[in-house]
């Protein structure tokens, strides 16, 4: 594995103590900017004015993540077909169909009162680096050589794209509609875990249910999926042999979307040994190389904020300034609905709305496609939104209404307002602009306050749940949006902490239920976090770290005692007996953890096989763990005439299947059944091009494997798959009484350039659940600096 060697660090540190520092002349700057890079790869940017601060953030981020930026730009602009050909045409159509087409000044200034200046400066900074590197194209990162492409220029429209956001539930909505069509609403509810209220999911009789099984959301899904490369995209010098591809391409397992989540909490000083408030956040998303998040420190008049965000947008989404600290997790908010229209048989561009034929809006676009002539497409819109599918034979059309196409719908950009908040009141006001995604924003400050505000643009639905498709004839309309500050919130609760983990946290006394979602993550991560914090006194930073990477499984704590009373034979009994004194922690290298997880995996599989009716197979993919656990704890007639006996047989069968799976995968020697190995729970970060290049090139791009612990139900979440697909690549814990005491992780590294020492320098420490200091004061930063760069305005001619 490549890593940042001590020699390299020492050389860089020596260079920082000398009189010579790198100077780069950058057209577009107004005044000089200093970039100080610490040994973990964070750029600390010191500017003399706001324009230059965000210009430099764009410049530095593009330098670190240029290939990621180029693919983002093409996804955002619907120009992937230009480099990958016809197979990406539907992606580009979908991107243009869902493009924000409103007033750009209104859009940019929604995120910050100086949004036009900030976003434009950021894009110009990106372009300044692109212009610089294109003077020496041979120095472009290796991905550009592999594909024989060059980066293109950015515009503010690229920055405000919605293409990679956590946007809504439209795919779940169609899936539920199909399930109701096949099984009926009662059966679907029995198999689902809707709460805290009971949604109406009956289909309107005016909808032809059989037509719901067409590929209605093809364009939507096409533009939302990651870009996948093929061997034909690769230049000859980098191509793999067929046998290499077959042997080395790691299998990608499908993951239950509900198993992907995040944790955050804020703790009052009354519970902490030092009396300070603390904030901890570990957002869980796809584990990838480069990291989804990018850490930066932004310093200029009016700005001094450090933390992480998505690299392609200005500002900091999770972090702290001089006054307070904040973090986020998903708060279920349904901002999408699927509308079904009757079309005019005489004019397919007209749909019926309130007994009138209404013309669709049509926009024509031209898409460049590699290897063939340009494609001209007509993009159609109803008053609700983009038309994603037209069934001409049945005179039916489908459109998606998207709250995120309102001004301010670009993910995380409203963090710009949060970055300058000085008080809880200012932070909450900033939250009022945070449309996407729906989040639990938590806050802790130096004055001792801790707070929570749910954010996200939330349609008000007075006569329907938003959980299944509805007619677009005017019968099912949104009644505007709930003001964000009226979403659930709290300040300084008596228990001394606030914690969220994507579970339902809306209090029972809340009264705006017509703007609250019904589908939430399983409660186990959140329950474990609450359990630890509620029992804590005189807690320390070490306690916060331990909880963030806690691998104790609450489902195991419930299920294992049920197994101990079951008679079991031979090797199965030997395996079961190992669990009797187990501490329920899914630690890497633990045989007990491997036995339990193999059982849990088979338990969930058996539940899906046994309880999803045949007509629902392929529609309902997975029964949520909480539902399965409820059935097991309180067995009913689904287990037979004697529910307890039937439940025990069910558990026995799942356990036997789990042991058989371990034997087939890891052999008969139980001592070799450790959790956290390449065949059972590991991390392997595969570059987007890793599977289509030769072995030598792949070795530069891909990282791993390394052992992992945990699963999707532990606070230290590592997802449900054997190869970790989701979890926290980025973590941060902040002590508001000492900003220099903040710590973080960001695996595998800050850079996306495989030739950079910061590409994978954090990979091994991240996999071992280790942290590094996130220094804030200039003295501390200089003490760990490995390079300093001065960006100079271009001299006037």
Q: Which of 168, 167, 178 lies closest to 201 in space, CA to CA?
A: 178
* pLDDT score of 794: 83
User: What DSSP element (H or E) covers 700?
Assistant: helix 695-701
The mean pLDDT value for 617-624 works out to 95
The Cα–Cα gap between 402 and 170 comes to 9
Cα separation values, 574 from 577, 652, 664, 672, 677, Å: 5, 14, 17, 14, 22
The DSSP call for residue 359 is: E
Residue written as token pair 């901890």: 280
Residue written as token pair 């230009």: 82
The Cα–Cα gap between 271 and 459 comes to 38
Helix H, strand E, coil C: the string for 246-266 is HHHCCCCCCCCHHHCCCEEEE
The Cα–Cα gap between 537 and 540 comes to 9
* pLDDT score of 255: 59
Would you call 763 exposed, middle or buried from its count of C-beta atoms within 10 A (0-12, 13-18, 19+)? buried
Q: At a CB cut-off of 8 Å and minimum separation 6, what does 389 contact? A: 214, 215, 216, 217, 218, 219, 397, 398
Q: What is the DSSP string of 177-239?
A: HHHHHHH-HHHHHHHS-B-SS----PPPTTS-GGGGGS-TTHHHHHHHSPP---GGGS-GGGB
Q: Which of 667, 632, 673 lies closest to 649 in space, CA to CA?
A: 632
The Cα–Cα gap between 323 and 447 comes to 8
> Does residue 677 have a pLDDT over 50?
yes
For β-strands 387-391 and 396-402, DSSP reports them as antiparallel
Question: 28-56: per-residue pLDDT in tens?
Answer: 999 999 999 999 999 999 999 999 999 99
Q: Which two three-digit tokens encode residue 598? A: 């193999």
Beta strands in 438-574 (DSSP E): 439-445, 450-455, 458-459, 470-471, 481-482, 489-491, 497-500
User: What DSSP element (H or E) covers 278?
Assistant: strand 278-282
Rounded to 5 degrees, what are φ and ψ at 527?
-65, -40
Q: At a CB cut-off of 8 Å and minimum separation 6, what does 656 contact? A: 568, 572
Question: 515-570: per-residue pLDDT in tens?
Answer: 999 999 999 999 999 999 999 889 999 999 999 999 999 999 999 999 999 999 99
* pLDDT score of 252: 53
Question: 564-610: per-residue pLDDT in tens?
Answer: 999 999 999 999 999 999 999 999 999 999 999 999 999 999 999 99
* pLDDT score of 163: 85
Reduce the DSSP state of residue 720 to 3 states and report it.
coil
Secondary-structure percent of the chain, ordered helix, strand, coil, rounded to 5: 35, 20, 40
Prior bond of 290 cis (ω within 30°)? yes
> Does residue 4 have a pLDDT over 80?
no
> Does residue 13 have a pLDDT over 80?
no
The Cα–Cα gap between 716 and 708 comes to 10
* pLDDT score of 12: 45
Residue written as token pair 């005019």: 344
The Cα–Cα gap between 401 and 420 comes to 33
Beta bridge partners of 726: 286
User: What DSSP element (H or E) covers 10?
Assistant: helix 6-17
Answer whether 791's CB lies under 8 Å from 32's CB.
yes
Rounded to 5 degrees, what are φ and ψ at 243?
-70, -35
The mean pLDDT value for 616-621 works out to 95
Question: 147-191: per-residue pLDDT in tens?
Answer: 999 999 999 999 999 988 777 899 999 999 999 999 999 999 999
Beta bridge partners of 723: 682
The mean pLDDT value for 673-700 works out to 96
The Cα–Cα gap between 170 and 361 comes to 22
The Cα–Cα gap between 603 and 652 comes to 9
Reduce the DSSP state of residue 685 to 3 states and report it.
strand
Whether pTM exceeds 0.85: yes
Question: 292-347: per-residue pLDDT in tens?
Answer: 999 999 999 999 999 999 999 999 999 999 999 999 999 999 999 999 999 999 99
Q: At a CB cut-off of 8 Å and minimum separation 6, what does 394 contact? A: 208, 211
Residue 310 exposure: Cα atoms within 13 Å on the Cβ side: 23
The Cα–Cα gap between 325 and 316 comes to 11
Answer whether 264's CB lies under 8 Å from 279's CB.
yes
The Cα–Cα gap between 423 and 736 comes to 13
Answer whether 636's CB lies under 8 Å from 630's CB.
no
Q: At a CB cut-off of 8 Å and minimum separation 6, what does 132 contact? A: 24, 26
Q: Which two three-digit tokens encode residue 519? A: 């589908």
* pLDDT score of 745: 96
* pLDDT score of 260: 65
Q: Which two three-digit tokens encode residue 239? A: 């191509």
* pLDDT score of 172: 96
* pLDDT score of 18: 38
**Largest pairwise CA distance in the chain:** 90
Q: Which two three-digit tokens encode residue 681? A: 């729970």
* pLDDT score of 795: 67
User: What DSSP element (H or E) covers 123?
Assistant: helix 115-133
What is the pLDDT confidence band of residue 796, given thresholds at 50, 70 and 90? low
Cα separation values, 326 from 273, 304, 308, 413, Å: 21, 14, 11, 15
Question: 730-782: per-residue pLDDT in tens?
Answer: 999 999 999 999 999 999 999 999 999 999 999 999 999 999 999 999 999 99
What is the pLDDT confidence band of residue 243, given thresholds at 50, 70 and 90? very low
* pLDDT score of 164: 80
Q: At a CB cut-off of 8 Å and minimum separation 6, what does 587 contact? A: 551, 593, 675, 676, 709
Residue written as token pair 């065949």: 679
* pLDDT score of 166: 75
Answer whether 503's CB lies under 8 Å from 520's CB.
yes
Q: Which of 671, 769, 669, 670 lies closest to 717 in space, CA to CA?
A: 769
What is the pLDDT confidence band of residue 21, given thresholds at 50, 70 and 90? confident
Strand ranges of the sheet holding 772-773, from the earlier edge strand across to the other edge: 497-500, 263-267, 278-282, 730-735, 743-746, 772-773
Task: Return the number of other C-beta atoms located less than 10 Å from residue 309's C-beta.
Answer: 26
The mean pLDDT value for 487-505 works out to 97
Reduce the DSSP state of residue 358 to 3 states and report it.
strand
> Does residue 82 have a pLDDT over 70?
yes
The mean pLDDT value for 439-468 works out to 97
Percentage of the residues of the chain whose pLDDT score is greater than 70: 95
Q: Which two three-digit tokens encode residue 666? A: 């890891």
> Does residue 246 have a pLDDT over 70?
no
Q: Which two three-digit tokens encode residue 481? A: 């949006």
The Cα–Cα gap between 553 and 596 comes to 10
What is the pLDDT confidence band of residue 365, given thresholds at 50, 70 and 90? very high
The Cα–Cα gap between 637 and 631 comes to 10
> Does residue 440 have a pLDDT over 60?
yes
> Does residue 9 have a pLDDT over 50?
no
Distance in angstroms between the alpha carbons of the first and the last residue of the chain: 48
* pLDDT score of 259: 59
* pLDDT score of 635: 98
Please give the mean pLDDT across all residues of the chain: 94
> Does residue 251 have a pLDDT over 60?
no
């Amino acid at each position: 594995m490549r890593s940042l060697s001590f020699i390299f660090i020492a050389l860089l540190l020596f260079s920082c103590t000398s009189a010579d520092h790198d100077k780069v002349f950058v057209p577009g700057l107004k005044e000089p900017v200093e970039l100080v890079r610490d040994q973990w790869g964070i750029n600390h940017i010191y500017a003399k004015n706001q324009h230059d601060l965000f210009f430099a953030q764009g410049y530095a981020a593009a330098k670190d993540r240029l290939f990621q930026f180029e693919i983002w730009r093409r996804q955002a602009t619907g120009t992937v077909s230009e480099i990958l050909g016809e197979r990406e045409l539907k992606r580009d159509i979908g991107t243009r169909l869902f493009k924000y087409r409103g007033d750009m000044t209104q859009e940019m200034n929604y995120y910050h009162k100086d949004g036009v200046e900030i976003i434009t400066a950021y894009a110009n900074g990106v372009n300044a680096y692109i212009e610089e590197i294109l003077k020496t194209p041979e120095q472009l990162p290796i991905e550009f050589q592999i594909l024989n492409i060059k980066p293109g220029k950015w515009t503010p429209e690229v920055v405000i794209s919605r293409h990679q956001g956590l946007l809504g539930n439209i795919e779940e909505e169609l899936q539920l509609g199909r399930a109701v069509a096949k099984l009926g609403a009662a059966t679907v509810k029995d198999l689902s875990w809707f709460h805290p209220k009971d949604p109406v999911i009956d289909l309107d009789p005016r909808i032809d249910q059989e037509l719901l099984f067409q590929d209605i959301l093809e364009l939507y899904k096409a533009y939302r999926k990651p870009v996948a490369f093929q061997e034909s995209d690769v230049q000859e010098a980098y191509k793999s042999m067929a046998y290499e591809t077959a042997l080395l391409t790691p299998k990608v397992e499908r993951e239950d979307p509900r198993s992907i989540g995040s944790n955050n909490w804020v703790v009052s000083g009354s519970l902490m040994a030092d009396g300070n408030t603390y904030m901890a956040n570990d957002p869980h998303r796809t584990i990838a190389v480069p990291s989804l998040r990018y850490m930066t420190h932004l310093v200029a008049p009016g700005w001094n904020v450090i933390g992480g965000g998505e690299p392609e947008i200005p500002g900091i989404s999770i972090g702290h300034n001089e006054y307070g600290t904040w973090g986020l997790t998903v708060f279920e908010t349904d901002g999408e609905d699927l509308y079904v229209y009757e079309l005019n048989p005489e004019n397919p561009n007209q749909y019926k709305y309130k007994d009138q034929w209404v013309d669709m809006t049509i926009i024509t676009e031209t898409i460049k496609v590699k290897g063939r002539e340009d494609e001209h497409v007509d993009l159609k819109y109803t008053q609700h939104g983009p038309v994603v599918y037209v069934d001409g034979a049945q005179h039916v059309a489908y459109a998606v209404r998207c709250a995120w196409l309102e001004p301010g719908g670009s993910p995380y950009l409203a963090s710009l307002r949060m970055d300058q908040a000085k008080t809880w009141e200012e932070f909450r006001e900033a939250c009022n602009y945070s449309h996407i995604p729906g989040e639990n924003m938590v806050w802790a400050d130096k004055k001792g306050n801790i707070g929570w505000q749910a954010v996200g643009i939330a349609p008000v639905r007075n006569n329907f749940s938003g959980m299944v498709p509805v007619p677009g004839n005017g019968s099912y309309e949104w009644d505007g949006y709930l003001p964000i500050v009226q979403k659930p919130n709290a300040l300084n609760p008596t228990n001394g902490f606030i914690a969220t983990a994507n579970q339902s946290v809306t209090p029972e006394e809340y009264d705006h239920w017509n703007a609250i979602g019904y589908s939430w993550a399983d409660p186990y991560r959140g329950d474990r976090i609450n359990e630890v914090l509620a029992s804590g006194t005189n807690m320390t930073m070490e306690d916060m770290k331990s909880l963030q990477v806690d691998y104790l499984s609450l489902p195991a704590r419930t299920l294992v005692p049920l197994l101990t009373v079951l008679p079991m034979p031979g090797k199965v009994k030997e395996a079961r007996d190992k669990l009797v004194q187990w501490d329920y922690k899914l630690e890497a290298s633990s045989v007990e953890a491997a036995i339990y997880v193999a059982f849990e995996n088979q338990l969930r599989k058996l539940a899906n096989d046994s309880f999803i009716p045949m007509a629902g197979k392929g529609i309902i993919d997975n029964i949520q763990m909480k539902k399965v656990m409820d059935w097991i704890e309180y067995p009913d007639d689904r287990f037979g005439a004697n529910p307890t006996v039937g439940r025990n047989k069910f558990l026995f069968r799942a356990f036997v299947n789990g042991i058989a799976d371990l034997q087939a995968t890891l052999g008969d020697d139980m001592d070799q059944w450790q959790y956290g190995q390449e065949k059972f729970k590991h991390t392997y970060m595969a570059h987007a091009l890793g599977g289509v290049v030769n072995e030598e090139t792949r070795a530069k791009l891909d990282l791993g494997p390394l052992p992992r612990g945990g699963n999707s139900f532990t606070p230290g979440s590592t997802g449900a798959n054997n190869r970790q697909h989701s979890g926290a690549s980025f973590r941060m814990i902040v002590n508001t009484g000492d900003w220099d005491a903040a710590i973080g992780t960001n695996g595998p590294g800050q850079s996306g350039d495989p030739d950079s020492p910061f590409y994978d320098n954090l990979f091994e420490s991240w996999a071992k659940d280790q942290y590094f200091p996130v220094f804030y004061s200039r003295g501390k930063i200089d003490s760990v600096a490995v390079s300093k760069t001065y960006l100079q305005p271009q001299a006037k001619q």
